[in-house]
Amino acid sequence: MKRIMVCFGLDVSLPVCSSHPVQDKVLQKHLKQFFTALNRMDGMPFVLNLSGSVLEWIEARHAEYFTLIKDFIEKKQLEVIGPGYYEPLLPLIPPQDRVGQLEMTTDFISSRLGKRPRGCWITGSAWDSSIISNLHSCGFNYTFLDKKLILSNSPCDYQGTLPVISEYLGKSITIFPIDSEILFNSETPENLLTQLFESSDRDEVNLFTIFIPLTSVPDYFHSEKGKNSWFEDFVEASREITGCSFEFLLPSQVYASSIPRIVSYVPVGASAFVNQWGKLNPKNDGKCPVEKNSIYNFLLKFPEAKELYSKMQYINTVVNQIRGDKERKNDGRGFLYKAQNCEGFWFTGKNGVLNRANRSLAYKNLMEAELISRKTECFVSSAATFDYDGDGLREYLFSFEDINYYIRSYGGCIFLLEDLKSLWNYGDTSLNRDLAGHPGDTYHKKIFNDHLIAKDSLDNLILGNLKKEDTVFALSPYTETSFNRNKRELLFKVKGSFGNKKQEVSLKKKYVVKRGGIQLQLILKNESSEELSGYFATELTLGMPDNFDKKGSLTVIEKNEKHISAIRQIQCGDVSCIRVYDSVNGILFQLENNENSFINILPRTVSFFDGDKTLTKNEELTVLVYWGIELAPNYEMEKTIFFRVERKTEAELEN
């Protein structure tokens, strides 16, 4: 006789940036509906996945839910599992952090509910076989992964209706295939029963694991007065089935049974839903099957995620170097773990890394961890160079007591500018995106992107429509000529070809980095045998706080006259000084030139598709400083910019 076993689960997690009122409304309403329905369906078992943020919310606002959950556990109607505490993508974080986050979850659950979880939830089914060792270290017996990921590297006769057992370096773990699509494709309870019956093998044991997201609770558990919920109708309909054995079980019961397990080596990957957003091939021409993608694709597709990932790995090293103070080290790790939440590293159609609030929160936590590592008797500012982001090129890290400047070889620009007092990263900028998350910008706008352009390309540069072939330097790797740690001086050189005539040009770029700002020297040379004509520009794009354009101020000194206004679009010439005041963080940016220049200041609107709508926000400010050039063969042009970053109150600014 055919035997069908079903494990139902509820996935309870929330975006890290949800406000408390939103959390209260969603969690209280949906969890209450779920528990009410579960109480009516006496004996119907469910597995409940609770993230760290949800566990904290329950303890702080509805501790009575723990009592209710304990009662269901004693009746064997509920089994509680959890992910890494702050829902990290496990393949992206170091092994010790995986264990640390998983232990935080298990300790919290066991201390409040009296029972240590034996099952682990893998956020997004983001998988790497090395995770098996971490699960073993934390005492887990089984986990759950997307069925399609398991099928992508399983025996041909395996249909995904049995658990698999996967091994890594002598340690193994049981994996339950999640097949939630079978539920979402069923309009009625009878449809679901039919699909379960038709998808199972004849005269064999069959297991289906189905998780329902919290947001779908009203669809399946809400009941009108005097009527059953969708799920209650399903349970009643299952009791009327003849010709097969139909059971509802907890994962722990399945694990303890003699149900067969199929040996399989699950490949690196993630759920099919997550993978479709990580596709690197926008044309979808079959060269990159969805199932073969991995969570690492998001680091390639979204530079914003890669920058945050690099910072996270760097701070991990910094925190782990704390010696002799266990409490300080644990405090640093706590902030590091918070920064590892999945929303800062992926994009699945809404929220995610394209929501600047997620990135800002992650950077804030990383800066908190860095400040904890600096809590010594005397912090010494430093300059260091190494391959910070794994791109094969060296980056340059200048760290001061209250500010960090990170400079990269690619583009020769500042890609991270952190104010450690306000915990804000002004180098956190975005690319404009289409509906699939693919970039529309030619290059990633940072601080001091250099451009040599033809005169008819100026409008395109100002509007952000510049093509790759129309700019020199911005997309080039710069070569280090010299680096003096003591003086904090860095000299780059880069060469390129300009215009249709492919005129050879070179640029020397020298940074002198100080706590209060940067002196930037730019020497452009015409290496060709013909006169060079066009515009030379350096572009600063700052990631600004919300409402910066409404609260901040802008000062432009043009022809020795001072013009003060709100932050808005301005284009003018003969400018010697620009001041931008961020009143949210109390930071004044000042640019002074050794020679007057043209400028264009533009609050930059960043847009991306978020679920069912396109969001646009003024999150950045672009300042373009440029000069017209007419250079004879083998002649040079030198420009110097003094870029100051100062902390000032509004009262000090007025004086």
Tokens of 284: 């979808």
Query: For residue range 516-547, what is the model confidence (pLDDT) as tens digits?
Result: 999 999 999 999 999 999 999 999 999 999 88
Tokens in use for 40? Answer: 């009516």
Confidence of residue 203 (pLDDT cuts 50, 70, 90): low
The Cβ of residue 444 has, within 10 Å, a number of other Cβ atoms equal to 20
CA–CA distance, 167 with 534 (Å, rounded to integer) = 62
Look at residue 163 in the predicted model and tell me its pLDDT: 94
Band of the pLDDT at 291, cuts 50, 70, 90?
very low
Cα separation, 63 vs 378, whole angstroms: 44
Query: What mean pLDDT, rounded, does the chain reach?
Result: 91
Report pLDDT digits (tens) over 331-388.
999 999 999 999 999 998 888 998 899 999 999 999 999 999 998 767 889 999 999 9
Please report, rounded to a whole number, the percentage of residues in the chain having pLDDT higher than 70: 94
Q: Does 83 or 280 have the greater pLDDT score?
A: 83
What do you get for the CA distance between the two ends of the chain, in Å? 88
pLDDT tens, residue by residue, 217-275: 999 998 887 788 999 999 999 888 877 888 999 999 999 998 989 999 999 999 999 98
User: Is the pLDDT assigned to residue 14 strictly greater than 80?
Assistant: no
User: In the beta sheet, which residues pair with residue 4?
Assistant: 206, 246
Higher pLDDT, 245 or 576: 576
Count other Cβ atoms within 10 Å, centred on residue 609: 17
**pLDDT tens-place string over residues 312-337:** 999 999 999 998 899 999 999 999 99
User: CB under 8 Å to 90, separation ≥6 — which residues?
Assistant: 84, 98, 122, 123, 126, 127, 128, 131, 134
Q: Look at residue 436 in the predicted model and tell me its pLDDT.
A: 60
Name the pLDDT band for 438 (thresholds 50, 70, 90): low
β-strand partners of 489: 484, 512
What's the mean pLDDT in 152-180?
91
* Neighbouring residues of 227: CB distance < 8 A, sequence distance ≥ 6: none
What letter represents residue 568's amino acid? R
The answer to whether 159 and 144 have CB atoms below 8 angstroms apart is no
pLDDT digits (tens, 9 = 90+) for 405-424: 999 999 999 999 999 999 99
Give the least confident one: 56-65, 129-138, 513-522, 590-599: 56-65
Cα dist. 261→77, 175, 254 in Å?
24, 9, 11
pLDDT of residue 88: 97
Average pLDDT for residues 65-83, to the nearest whole number? 95
Name the pLDDT band for 464 (thresholds 50, 70, 90). Answer: confident
541-573 tens-digit pLDDT: 999 998 898 889 999 999 889 999 999 999 999
